[in-house]
Structure 1
Amino acid sequence: MNNQPSKSLILATVLILFAVLSRIIPHYPNFTALGAVALFGASQLKDKWQALLVPIVALYLSDLFINNIVYADFYESFVWKISPFVYVAFAMILGIGWWLRDRVNTGNVITASLTASIVFFLLTNAASWQVSPLYTKDFTGFVAAIVAGIPFFWSTVAGDLFYCGVIFGAYAWFRQQYPALLA
């Protein structure tokens, strides 16, 4: 019996670490690898449970770090909470990644990346409109929430496109250079 971890599990672990690091090191707001990792994991990891867990674990671990280390002064004790809307958005991004399975090419990765950015933007800003007292609960408030999120949208798009290029590109290069390593 082989006790070695599978190549897919190693890849999943590396992706989680990469995504967490991209979120906890200083970065421009929303310019992280999480969206790209979700798309890549869902489209490339053989086991769907790994494809689901990779972005969720990366997001949760980085949330714990950010809430309890970076923003520790804002809380009285250890914080376990999450923003459910962000996790729902990532679940939807996983669906986009599953659509990408067996369809990976430059055009489809760009389309998936842009779609993921739009889904994340619309869902999280609609949620902000619903839960924040800053916005009236009418069409005007909804538009104000969307407009307030536009600067973050552009950095989300840039981050998703950049990291999709890095991750999908590096994976394609490694598959070409070392086919036995990733088989």
Structure 2
Amino acid sequence: MTPRLLTLCLLIFATAALRLLPHWPNFTPVAALALFAGAHLDDRRLAFVVPFAALLLSDWVLGFYPGMVFVYAGFAVSVLIGFALRRRRGLRRIAAATLAGAIAFFLISNFGAWLTTGLYPRDAAGLAAAYIAGIPFLRNALAGDLVYVALLFGGFWLAERRFAWLRAKTAGLARTGALGQS
């Protein structure tokens, strides 16, 4: 395991551990770390495995719940969106990816809540009610995503500038840093 890969994995697991601390509902680093893993881990399988392992460990501590598959699917979309950031990680691209990930997670997880919890009637009005009830959580999730994306992408960008051993060895790719042009 390279020092870069080890550092990235440790950063992802440490960020996931923040989920265990008290926080506002949905103000967690999970979507940000999924996006970060997709953007930074060279092995696409690891980009899914590492954040999902961290998420699964924190769910093991917090408890499992109905609709987990939808929550994990929402985060999988964030990993996929992160793949689009591999070549260029400009500030605007990262912000757009963060917004896209939050909206995708909102749509998928609230559909799962509608389908699995029994809180809503299984009709169009029930689905609409599930989405309306989820709006405050979307607001918190987007705020958390923006904070944690800034910390992860910005912090790692600064660390790459300071420590040569963290820089990716990707010859031929036109990459910019987290604060570069989009």
TM-score (norm 2): 0.85
Aligned partners of 1:18 and 1:33 also within 8 Å: no
Which position in structure 1 is the counterpart of 2:6?
Answer: 10
Equivalenced residues, count? 168
Aligned partners of 1:31 and 1:159 also within 8 Å: yes
Name the CA distance, whole Å, in 2 between partners of 1:32 and 1:166: 12
SS of the aligned residue for 1:32 comes to coil
Which position in structure 1 is the counterpart of 2:80?
Answer: 95
Name the CA distance, whole Å, in 1 between partners of 2:124 and 2:44: 39
* More RCO (CA 8 Å, sep 6+): 2
Unaligned stretches of 5+ in structure 2? 169-182
> Which of 19, 22, 27 is the matching residue for 1:26?
22
One-letter amino acid of the structure 1 residue matched with residue 124 of structure 2:
F
Deviation at 1:136, TM superposition (A): 1.2
Deviation at 1:182, TM superposition (A): 3.4
Unaligned stretches of 5+ in structure 1? 68-78
Aligned partners of 1:100 and 1:109 also within 8 Å: yes
Name the CA distance, whole Å, in 1 between partners of 2:79 and 2:166: 25
SS of the aligned residue for 1:100 comes to coil
> Which of 151, 162, 170 is the matching residue for 1:177?
162
One-letter amino acid of the structure 1 residue matched with residue 14 of structure 2:
F
> Which of 93, 97, 106 is the matching residue for 2:91?
106
Residue identity (%): 37
Which position in structure 1 is the counterpart of 2:171?
Answer: none
Deviation at 1:22, TM superposition (A): 1.3
Aligned partners of 1:31 and 1:156 also within 8 Å: yes
Name the CA distance, whole Å, in 2 between partners of 1:59 and 1:109: 22
SS of the aligned residue for 1:154 comes to helix
> Which of 33, 41, 51 is the matching residue for 1:45?
41
Deviation at 1:80, TM superposition (A): 9.6
Deviation at 1:19, TM superposition (A): 2.6
Q: Does 1:55 align with 2:42?
A: no
SS of the aligned residue for 1:104 comes to coil
By percentage of residues, which structure has more helix? 1
Give deviations 1:92-147, integer Å, cap 9, x for gaps: 11110111111211001100111110011110101111122221111111111001
Aligned partners of 2:38 and 2:47 also within 8 Å: yes
Name the CA distance, whole Å, in 2 between partners of 1:15 and 1:93: 17
Which position in structure 2 is the counterpart of 1:84?
Answer: 69
Name the CA distance, whole Å, in 1 between partners of 2:57 and 2:13: 10
Q: Does 1:130 align with 2:122?
A: no
Given the superposition, is the C-alpha separation of residues 13 and 82 from structure 1 closer, same or farther in structure 2, using an over 3 Å criterion? farther
